[in-house]
Amino acid sequence: MTKHIFVTGGVVSSLGKGLTSASIGMLLERRGLRVKMQKLDPYINVDPGTMNPYQHGEVYVLDDGSETDLDLGHYERFTHSPLTRDSNYTTGQIYQSVIEKERRGEFLGKTVQVIPHITNEIKHVIAKLADQDTDVVITEIGGTVGDIESLPFLEAIRQFAIDAGKENCLYIHLTLVPYLKAAGELKTKPTQHSVGQLREIGIQPDILICRTEREISLDDREKIALFCNVSLEAVIEERDKDFSIYEVPMELVENRLDDLINEKLDLGGTSLELDDWRDLLHGLRNPQSEISIAVVGKYAEHKDAYKSIYESLDHAGMHHRAQIRIGRIQSETLEREGPERLLSGYDGVLVPGGFGERGIEGKVEAIRFARERGIPFFGICLGMQCAAIEFGRHVIKLDGAHSTEFDKDTPHPLICLLDEQKNIVDMGGTMRLGTQLCQLSEESLARTCYDQEQISERHRHRYEFNNVYRQQFAAHGMEVAGTSPDGLLAEIIELKDHPWFLAVQFHPEFKSKPTVAHPLFTGFVEAAVKRHQQRTERPQDVPEPSEDAHT
């Protein structure tokens, strides 16, 4: 029978349940077990697709077009778990499903209530992932124990253990053991209270993972074990990671978490194999070079808004044994202060996606600076559209060139709405989403990076490059290097006479892993390494990046 692990969090939010869950999934996979992962979020939005990146971070898109929580990015980067729309549910989706059933008369006139109807629906979406090809399902419960919106999910996983058998379920609670500088000691009371709230609900954690800045003493671990009713060996320390998130699995191994889970669920996994992961961390700690990449975005100061991009840059850095120093630069700030001050000295410029007019001109100026100075440039989604706008305005001299997203009356609509989007009213889940095929041109930079004729990448956009201008762009040196299989949609544009200038309409960052870096990111970082080497040979020509550019 498929076993179930439920991961909850207490004391405060943002403890890293997603990273911990992903690390557990990875360790179980490395023991030869077949794992599926799932995130249940307590907010009422149907999905994060319409949510502000400042509040929720990036929207992570799956192959099937599902717009999901960013923690699913951790799941994919750490594990091989097959993720689908069944891997992420929200309160909004749960209630929507129950209300639709009620409207169809499926409850036969009964009063529809949180218990049992909402909790039954939650149990149903958990059980969906269990099949004969799955050994373990890991379900992360979003939010913090004690929040009113999390209660239906906690009640559902309490009931689930009764239905499936307690021997088939394991509760892992992630908590915080804060250090009070004034007292000079760690405090276990918040953890005790958090576990107490869980036990009031009817859930007794089997394992506690304690986030902490400092080492937890044996006395404190014994106190936590005693007052939280768990064994001493089940109190697992997880120290803050200043160096890399990819250290998390190794610390959990040092604390025998994988052995403990294996014993408690009687999983019968094989011995753990982590040699490649150790090699990866060794390369990360011992880089052979250091480069700087400027990420010029609308939400640059909020790290989670471009989480997958930063991770993909790190993956490419690991691939090339290069340490990457990232400058997170607000495009609005660049509009005020200019690219000369904020971008000088960087080895590469990356312009990511986004929505809305704010900061667009800053992105355009950043791209112009990279193009004119021969700095490796990588544009993603809106970054590609801004690259087209910049080239149209400053090279082809199309006065007033813009996107109809920002200027409906532009005389030169280089970017326009997809035909399939023109009659769409609802905002949620209606963009061009998920995996689409792309045909690569021969002798293109993209073809060299991928070493394939046809690729598949994930999309999330409503606007596209206007084919009316394709010949004009080609005549001035900007080629469409990748298209949809029918040749109608421009997916990749490249500048020929440039060290490395490539922009894509899709989101390659969603397919990068620490063990298998994405080929476009590795190509971009390789070009940045070459530029850095050139700068080292003649450092007087290019000043170092301004410290004011960093957050």
DSSP string for 506-548: S-GGGG--SSS--HHHHHHHHHHHHHHHHHHHSGGGSPPPPGG
Taking the C-alpha atoms of residue 24 and residue 138, their distance in angstroms, rounded to an integer, is 8
CB atoms within 10 A of CB 91: 22
Annotation marks residue 117 as catalytic: no
Q: State how far the Cα of 405 lies from the Cα of 466, in Å rounded to an integer.
A: 13
Nearest to 492 by CA among 434, 448, 549: 448
Closest CA relative to residue 482, chosen from 527, 434, 437, 419? 437
Q: What is the torsional sign of CA 202, 206, 211, 217?
A: positive
Q: How far apart are CA 350 and CA 527, in angstroms?
A: 12
Is 69 strand, coil or helix? coil
Kindly state the tokens that stand for 497: 């006479």
509 is catalytic: yes
DSSP line for 21-36:
HHHHHHHHHTTT--EE
Can you tell me whether residue 206 is helix, strand or coil?
coil
Burial of 351 (0-12, 13-18, 19+ CB in 10 A): buried
The one catalytic residue in 381, 416, 438, 449 is 381
Catalytic residue among 56, 459, 507, 532: 507
User: Does 416 qualify as catalytic in the annotation?
Assistant: no
Which residues are 220's β-sheet partners?
none
Place of tokens 């609670």: 173
Do 173 and 9 meet the contact criterion of CB atoms below 8 Å apart? yes
Give the integer Cα–Cα distance in Å for 325 and 307.
15
Contact 57, 304 (CB under 8 A): yes
Check 56, 509, 518, 532 and give the catalytic one. 509
CA angle 299, 382, 68 (to 5 degrees): 65
Across 52-66, b (16+ Cβ under 10 Å) vs e yields ebeebbbbbbbbebb
DSSP string, 212-276: ESSPPPHHHHHHHHHHHT--GGGEEEEE--SS-GGGHHHHHHHTTHHHHHHHHHT--------HH
Pairing type for strands 60-61 and 67-68 reads antiparallel
- Cβ neighbours of residue 326 under 8 Å, at least 6 residues apart? 292, 293, 294, 295, 310, 313
Instruction: Write the single-letter amino acid at 239.
Output: R
User: Tokens 């898109």 map to which residue?
Assistant: 61
Query: Which tokens is 501 given?
Result: 């200038």
Residues involved in catalysis: 381, 507, 509
